Chains A and B, each alone.
Chain A
Amino acid sequence: MIFAFEKRKTVSRTAIVVVPFVSFLASLFLTGILLAAFGANPLTTFGAMFKGAFGSGRALTETLVKAIPLMLTGLGVALAFKLKFWNIGAEGQLTLAGVAATWVALYWSPWLPSPLLLPAVVLVGCAAGALWAGVPALLKTGLKVDETLVTLMLNYVAILFSEFLYYGPWRDPKGFGFPGTQPFPKAAWFPRIAGRAHIGLYIAIAAALILWIVLNRTRWGFELKVIGNSPKAARYQGIAVERNIVLAVLLSGALCGLAGVGEVAGISRRLQQGLSLGYGYTAIIVAWMAQLNPLAIPFVAVLMGGLLVGGDQVQMVMGLPSSMGLLMQGMMLFPMLAGSLFTEYRIKRVGSQAVRESKIGAA
């Protein structure tokens, strides 16, 4: 008996739902082997992780604190990926938006009426994220420059620029020379819901819904889908491919930017070291795990946030090295990527007869 992969004519709906779950279980199993190899009881460890991430009100809010930027960057990245625009610059878009939000919060507050400050922080932050994504979008559509490289490189530019600011001209004069800007005025703070979880959560969920509606229920969403499947076909249909790519990527950058705004205005309330802890990269895992579906992203983000927060327990309770947490994150992605094979292909049993025929055919 021989098995072969056969491309499915349509993507299986059951597979779309089942595969992520099975992949998740498979990754738990693989991680379990790893834990056992390190002499830790996998079940105890998973139990401790779950408790650490969801086991109390406080733990849950901390998981949400991580999930909020993952949701927003996940949505941003997924939108770009739908168009096969490989935006791996979420990190930079997030960072630059954090910088822009800081600029508004600290330097516009003297003359801007305080009720307008927070909206201005959000808008300017998003605009900065969009701008940072717009550069590679224009380079790609105008000059056919590869966006993967440009978005990645711009991450470093944004991060170094933010460091320059909080080490240099924006450094808190009352901070004994330590890096970091002064704290934001209260008017520029994101209201918090519970613990440190802030209204960015509502914004992110609303963004997920809106993005889903836009992609599935509007003409523009349809055009984006066509472009994603085949830019050529889109062009024949008279769709303005370049313009739409640029618009969608600007939106993608704005979403990632929103994550950065949330981090500075909702969590740290100043610009300092540790603005982004790789959210922009984890977002890529989130987007793929959610199969680029905006409605699935909030849940996957909560799961991933839980994994990050629960990962601390691996050290604090189980006494394992910190790299274990990172390893587990990586372990999540592999079965997921392998799993996506099954949504697009199915396994078919091939008789020996068929094989012989195909061999003859090949010869």
Chain B
Amino acid sequence: MKKTLSVFCVLLAALAVIGCAKKEAPAPAPAAAAVVAPYKVAFVYIGVPGDLGWTHEHDTGRLAVEAAFGDKVKTAYIENVPEGPDATRIIRQYAQDGYDMIFATSFGYMDPMVEVASEFPKVKFVHCSGYKTAENMSTYFGRIYQARYLSGIVAGKMTKTNIIGYPGAFPIPEVVRGINAFTLGARSVNPKVQVRVVWTNTWYDPVKEREAAVALLDAGADIITQHQDTVEPQKAAQERGKLSIGYDSDMRKFVGDTVLTSPVWNWGVYYVDTVRKGMDGTWKSDQYWEGLSADVVRLADFSPLVPQDVKDLVSVQKQKIVGGTWDVFTGPIKDNTGKLRVNDGAKMSDGELLGFDWLVEGVVGKVQ
């Protein structure tokens, strides 16, 4: 028994020595500023590119960067990175490995990225969907709510039960904003519509997403839309012979014509531009939040099941939004307890939109 104890102590000492030795090892000499070295860009993903949704679209954007710059860039990505403390390690690892620009594509990477950004002032950090910035850290997002509103018009016109199911990831402003925009769109053409929300508390979990959709179908929904990362809710609707609205990617391609349309991301526009700025030295920290007019968000092509009059209706509203004469969150807007939140003609500010914590009239659900 004494022997075991002494072995333990020896091993412990050995470990300590290895640890110290490693720490004292000189840092590798910085590589000479070679002109030919490609610009290194890394992407941190919450899911997998094969999710056909959120991460798929970011990866499409990454590929657009590769296509645009060829040999001049080197891109890398890591998938399935949990939000929270683990992300700090991953982001730091990329910074340490000499990446010039790092994109983090989920909200929960915000604080980790802020932490690492302060340690690597020369690396450019770009965070999707958050609100914290630094000298070397930008944020970016798209006004997907504009496309959501348009898809809501389609759903409002085509529902027969007047119940639309909406599995949502988390009760956070990004998701709440989408639900509200969709509901306003649907009720603009059909005031009887109810949008029922189920929170899954996960971005990426095919099984949970499907279960939530099934529960909503059981509750009488005849159209399913979602704020999740996979196509499972849409598939579940199709299996029941019901319609759906996609999200993230043009899900009609993966599921079929029961997906009437999808609000989709077009990150390539932003990624190519941002990487170019990084390469030519004009990059500056900012907060990018553009919409349909910048083409960073789109409404995907309609399914043949959508009648022409509905398409025309959408087209009219789209022109108003793109032209800048009108935006989605213009009053009067009531919340789902009946209280008037936005006065007639008033427009919600970006600040209010970024902190959205109440649901509009017609949504059945609660922001916890």
A residues adjacent to B (C-beta < 8 A): 52, 54-58, 60, 62, 65, 163-164, 167-168, 176-179, 194, 196, 205, 209, 212, 216-217, 263, 267-268, 272-275, 277, 293, 295-296, 298-299, 302, 309, 312, 315-316, 319, 321-323
A55 to B22, CA, bound (A): 7
Residue of B nearest to A319 (CB): B76
Of the listed stretches B63-71, B86-94, B239-247, B315-323, chain A binds: B86-94
Q: A179-B170, A212-B5 are in contact. Are A321 and B79 (CB under 8 A)?
A: yes
A–B complex contacts, Cβ < 8 Å, 28 sampled: A58-B92, A60-B23, A65-B89, A163-B201, A164-B368, A167-B171, A167-B201, A176-B131, A177-B172, A177-B356, A178-B107, A194-B23, A196-B85, A205-B12, A212-B4, A212-B8, A217-B1, A274-B82, A274-B85, A295-B8, A299-B15, A309-B89, A315-B79, A316-B90, A321-B48, A322-B48, A322-B78, A322-B80
Residue of B nearest to A326 (CB): B80
Looking at the assembled complex, report how far the CB atom of A264 sits from the nearest CB atom of chain B, in whole angstroms: 10
Pair count A-B, CB < 8 A: 104
Looking at the assembled complex, report how far the CB atom of B196 sits from the nearest CB atom of chain A, in whole angstroms: 19
Q: Is the CB of B23 within 8 A of A57?
A: yes
Residue of B nearest to A314 (CB): B78
Query: What chain A residues lie within 8 Å of B121 (beta carbons)?
Result: none
Q: Is the CB of A295 within 8 A of B5?
A: yes
Residue of B nearest to A176 (CB): B355
Q: Which 8 A-B pairs have the closest CB atoms?
A: A274-B84, A57-B23, A322-B80, A295-B8, A177-B357, A176-B355, A315-B78, A267-B85
Majority DSSP secondary structure for residues of B touching A: helix
As a 0/1 sequence over residues 170 to 193 of chain B, the CB contacts with chain A under 8 angstroms (1 = contact) are 111100100000000000000000
Looking at the assembled complex, report how far the CB atom of B2 sits from the nearest CB atom of chain A, in whole angstroms: 10
Q: Is the CB of B357 within 8 A of A322?
A: no
Q: Is the CB of B84 within 8 A of A176?
A: no
B residues adjacent to A (C-beta < 8 A): 1, 4-5, 7-8, 11-12, 15, 18-19, 22-23, 25, 48, 76, 78-80, 82-86, 88-90, 92-94, 96-97, 107-108, 131, 170-173, 176, 201, 354-357, 367-368
A10 to B11, CA, bound (A): 26
Q: A58-B96, A312-B78 are in contact. Are A168 and B12 (CB under 8 A)?
A: no
A178 to B131, CA, bound (A): 11
Residue of B nearest to A295 (CB): B8
Q: Is the CB of A56 within 8 A of B15?
A: no
